[in-house]
């Protein structure tokens, strides 16, 4: 049980790191908007945040499934 | 000008994600902890990103944004051309358009999805800038639509009452006579004035 929890904690951490990386990309772009930074923000930063959110939701879904909440 | 609000929002979002990163283990043990993880790692970053995207769209309509590419810098200079018939110069110098978004005021379709179309064209410009061959003479992808001029001028008194416009108002409105195509207003950017340094500057 504890091992399974660690797996989920790790995957949630991974989700936080990916989402955080997306926010960092967007933050860097917002200091100097040029066509390239705008595209970087929209094409790299935004999807990273989305992927982070999906990773988190996936691990939350797995926890609920393991606990029989679904 | 820096978009301070979105910078603060992104910093706050980042701080929340960082805090939750270290607190995932204890937080995941309780119901409210899990809810706060959901809010902090999913909802807040998505919300802040939506704000960032919206700010990016707004920023990408600014004159300084367009002129950040060297290909456009000569066109930026043409805003100062000392020519009372050059449309871009007249609009800019007389403050007929917002100076912060001069390019976008004219180079955007005011039809539905016009903003999206303008941004997609912008993507195409970036692609050409980095991976393609920038043409010697830059031109529009399609002839300029008079409807964009009429978006502002349509019922303006100066436009309606101008003697040359009066007899052809109907055809101007239905698009059969174009502002450019008619030959009346066919100098959009006076590049010759730029090359010859015939520029006007407000004192």
pLDDT of residue A3: 65
More confident residue, B126 or A55: A55
Does B41 contact A15 at a Cβ distance shorter than 8 Å?
Answer: yes
Interface check B48 vs A, CB under 8 A:
yes
Average pLDDT taken over every residue of chain B = 91
In this complex, the residue of B14, B42, B56 whose CB is nearest that of residue A23 is: B14
Query: Over 80: is that where the pLDDT of B30 sits?
Result: yes
pLDDT at B182 over 90: no
CA distances from A28 to A31, A36, B16, B61, B143 (A): 6, 12, 17, 19, 37
pLDDT exceeds 60 at position A1: no
Confidence at B172, pLDDT banded by 50, 70, 90: very high
Residue from B13, B116, B123, B9 nearest A38 by CA: B123
**Which residue(s) pair with B199 in the sheet?**
B81
Whether A3 has its CB under 8 Å from any CB of chain B: the answer is no
pLDDT of residue A58: 94
Q: At what angle do helices A2-30 and B44-59 cross, to 10 degrees?
A: 20
Report CA Rg, chain B: 24
Whole-number pLDDT of residue B110: 72
Residue of B15, B19, B42, B128 to mutate, testing the A interface (most A Cβ within 10 Å of its Cβ) = B42
Look at A9 and B62 and tell me if their CB atoms are within 8 Å: no
pLDDT for position B118: 81
| pLDDT tens profile B136-165 | 888 888 888 888 999 999 999 999 999 999
B19-23, B56-60, B107-111, B124-128: range with lowest mean pLDDT: B107-111
Q: What is the pLDDT of residues B110-125, one digit of tens each?
A: 777 777 888 888 888 8
Chain B touched by A35 (CB under 8 Å): yes
């Amino acid at each position: 049980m504890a091992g399974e929890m660690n797996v989920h904690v790790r995957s949630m951490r991974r989700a936080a790191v990916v989402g955080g990386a997306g926010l960092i990309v967007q933050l860097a772009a917002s200091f100097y908007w040029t066509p390239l930074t705008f595209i970087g923000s929209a094409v790299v930063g935004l999807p990273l945040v989305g992927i982070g959110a999906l990773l988190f939701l996936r691990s939350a879904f797995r926890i609920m499934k393991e606990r029989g909440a679904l | 000008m820096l978009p301070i609000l979105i910078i603060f929002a992104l910093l706050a979002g980042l701080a929340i994600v960082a805090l939750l990163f270290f607190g995932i283990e204890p937080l995941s043990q309780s119901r409210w902890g899990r809810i706060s993880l959901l809010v902090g790692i999913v909802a807040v970053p998505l919300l802040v990103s939506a704000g960032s995207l919206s700010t990016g769209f707004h920023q990408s309509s600014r004159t300084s944004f367009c002129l950040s590419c060297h290909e456009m810098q000569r066109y930026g200079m043409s805003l100062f051309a000392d020519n009372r018939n050059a449309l871009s110069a007249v609009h800019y110098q007389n403050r007929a358009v917002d100076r912060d978004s001069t390019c976008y005021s004219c180079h955007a379709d005011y039809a539905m999805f016009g903003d999206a179309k303008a941004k997609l064209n912008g993507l195409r410009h970036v692609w050409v800038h980095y991976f393609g061959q920038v043409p010697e003479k830059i031109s529009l992808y399609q002839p300029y639509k008079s409807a964009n001029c009429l978006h502002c001028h349509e019922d303006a008194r100066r436009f309606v009452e101008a003697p040359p416009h009066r007899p052809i108002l109907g055809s101007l409105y239905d698009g059969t006579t174009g502002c450019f195509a008619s030959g009346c207003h066919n100098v959009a950017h006076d590049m010759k004035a730029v090359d010859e340094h015939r520029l006007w500057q407000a004192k």
